[in-house]
Structure 1
Amino acid sequence: MNVPIFVTPERARLVAFSEPVWALGDGFLVARGNPKALTGYKALAARSDARLGVVGGTIQIDAATSSGATDSQIVLFNDQPSAVAALLSGKVDAYAATAVGNRALAAANKPLEAVAHEKSPDGRIPAGGFSFNKENRDLVQAVNKQLRAYLGTADHRARMAKYGIEASEIDGVVTSQSA
């Protein structure tokens, strides 16, 4: 069993996933004042002069390209600190990651601000779940049973709030059984 990661079709071919434990929308980290008015991937794609920093292998790459961003607009980094350093130095205009992560980064870097993206037209927000070896069906079922009882409880919400995860990022995965 591993920490929660985004559930994608590619990953689901390799591992089994638990019930979703969060739904984390994307956002940008930008220079304070958001000089290029980058409010989401489509706004970035509309500006040929805008450069987006992303960490290689993340879901944000597909989100950017499916919204029209070109390869020349996307700059890949090996890790988050490198991408944030590039943003601070002006080599990129925005850094794409989860909105929750960007809120924490903005709090630690006063020259930067977090911009949450609007929900997609279909209202879907990427969800994450624990991952398991596909042959561990009994463990997946046992974990899911506990998750259904726990997700959305006051204790769960209080613990997640400590990490900056907001109610809306939990509400997207709470089922009627745990409400």
Structure 2
Amino acid sequence: MRISVSSKRVALLLAAAVTVVSTGVTVARAESTDDKVLHDGEITIGIHNQVPWGYRNADGTVAGVGPDMIRAVLGPLGVKKVDFVIVDFDALIPSLLSRRIDAVASGLAITPPRCKQVIFSNPDLAIGDAILVKKGNPLNIHSYADVAKNPAIRMAGGRGSSDVEHAISAGIPKDRILLLKDVESSVGALLAGRIDADTESSSTVINVLKDPNVGAKLERAVPFTGLVVNGQQVANYAAIAFRPDDAKLRDTYNEGLAKIKADGTVKKIFAKYGFSDSEIAPSDVTAKKICGDDFR
């Protein structure tokens, strides 16, 4: 009888021990990126090496709107080591989801399709679409509608970019849009006569034309009307992207973002890269509002 009771007790103790061990393993595996970032003070950020979004200088330092925003928000929280990984633009989200990086800070716009894949911070920048054309705008392109109605116009854009999504939504057939991996490729194609126009964000076009060699041959099509929804041109609202299971880190970032917007830090960062106050995303434009039912 005593042997039986002891056996039961041993079995119960073993079961309890297994439960404790299992619980410990579960907790360790469930540790969020937020816990790791704030505890270890380290984070890995994806950028696509493009001015002004996120890029590496010749001396190896990293600059850009995204990197500066990450440092300004997370620095005061004790995140002192930020590793930047250069990734092709269309590979940024796959790299995030595969856990190669912890977040994307490289001018990624909040769009409904992306809201289904990742979660976004509230936006910092509000940027419209723009078109690069040859000097003199020989095909008189002033809207996506102009491109859509003229089958002779060949256009390029960044693979996976929101500008291309807008162009397609505005009625430009997919088979008339050449998808390229970066701005340099698109500019090269335009200069070589392989395309007639290149769709980019207005900020990217402004920066491209700062190069005197490019500015002598290309120009920004002005005025320009992009995608119009409910009577209003659609703007790209740039934000930081996180994995869906890192909502706590996203929320922590949003709290810091609100603080640096209020104290003028965001204004200074944007001015450093040529952006005006009008391009600071309004506080009432949130990721939740843009993502709608897909917000998490």
Deviates more, 1:100-109 or 1:38-47: 38-47
Write the distance in 2 (CA, Å) between the matches of 1:26 and 1:55. Answer: 12
Q: In the alignment, does 2:188 pair up with 1:90? A: no
Instruction: Please point out which of 102, 115, 131 is paired with 2:221.
Output: 115
How many angstroms does 1:27 deviate by? 0.3
Q: Which runs of 5+ in 2 are unaligned?
A: 1-102, 285-296
Residue of structure 2 in register with 1:11 after alignment: 114
Q: In the alignment, does 2:151 pair up with 1:151? A: no
SS of the equivalent of 2:221 reads strand
How many angstroms does 1:62 deviate by? 2.1
How many angstroms does 1:123 deviate by? 4.0
SS of the equivalent of 2:147 reads helix
Letter in 1 for 2:161: T
Answer yes or no: is the 8 Å Cα contact 2:119–2:243 preserved in 1.
yes
Letter in 1 for 2:225: E
**Structure with the bigger percentage of helix:** 2
Residue of structure 1 in register with 2:282 after alignment: 174
Larger Rg: 2
Write the distance in 1 (CA, Å) between the matches of 2:198 and 2:270. Answer: 24
Q: Alpha-carbon deviations, 1:118-140, whole Å to 9, x = none?
A: 36323431212111122222221
Write the distance in 1 (CA, Å) between the matches of 2:276 and 2:269. Answer: 11
Percent identity among equivalent residues? 26
Letter in 2 for 1:112: L
Answer yes or no: is the 8 Å Cα contact 1:44–1:50 preserved in 2.
yes
Residue of structure 1 in register with 2:104 after alignment: 2
Deviates more, 1:21-30 or 1:75-84: 75-84
Q: CA RMSD in A?
A: 2.0
SS of the equivalent of 1:128 reads strand
> CA 1:152/1:38 → structure 2, altered by over 3 Å: closer, same or farther?
farther
What's the TM-score once normalised by structure 1's chain length? 0.86
Aligned length: 174
How many angstroms does 1:141 deviate by? 1.4
How many angstroms does 1:50 deviate by? 1.0
Write the distance in 1 (CA, Å) between the matches of 2:174 and 2:282. Answer: 36
> CA 1:101/1:152 → structure 2, altered by over 3 Å: closer, same or farther?
farther
How many angstroms does 1:101 deviate by? 0.3
Instruction: Please point out which of 246, 261, 264 is paired with 1:136.
Output: 246
Write the distance in 2 (CA, Å) between the matches of 1:94 and 1:143. Answer: 37
Answer yes or no: is the 8 Å Cα contact 1:99–1:115 preserved in 2.
no
Instruction: Please point out which of 138, 148, 164 is paired with 1:45.
Output: 148
Write the distance in 2 (CA, Å) between the matches of 1:146 and 1:38. Answer: 41
How many angstroms does 1:168 deviate by? 2.3
> CA 1:137/1:71 → structure 2, altered by over 3 Å: closer, same or farther?
closer
Letter in 1 for 2:283: T
Write the distance in 1 (CA, Å) between the matches of 2:111 and 2:132. Answer: 23
> CA 1:12/1:23 → structure 2, altered by over 3 Å: closer, same or farther?
same
Residue of structure 1 in register with 2:43 after alignment: none
Letter in 2 for 1:146: G
Letter in 1 for 2:249: L
> CA 1:152/1:86 → structure 2, altered by over 3 Å: closer, same or farther?
farther
Deviates more, 1:22-31 or 1:62-71: 62-71
Moved over 6 A (4+): none
Residue of structure 2 in register with 1:71 after alignment: 174
How many angstroms does 1:96 deviate by? 0.5
The structure, 1 or 2, with the larger RCO (C-alpha pairs under 8 Å, 6+ apart) is 1
What's the TM-score once normalised by structure 2's chain length? 0.54
How many angstroms does 1:23 deviate by? 1.4
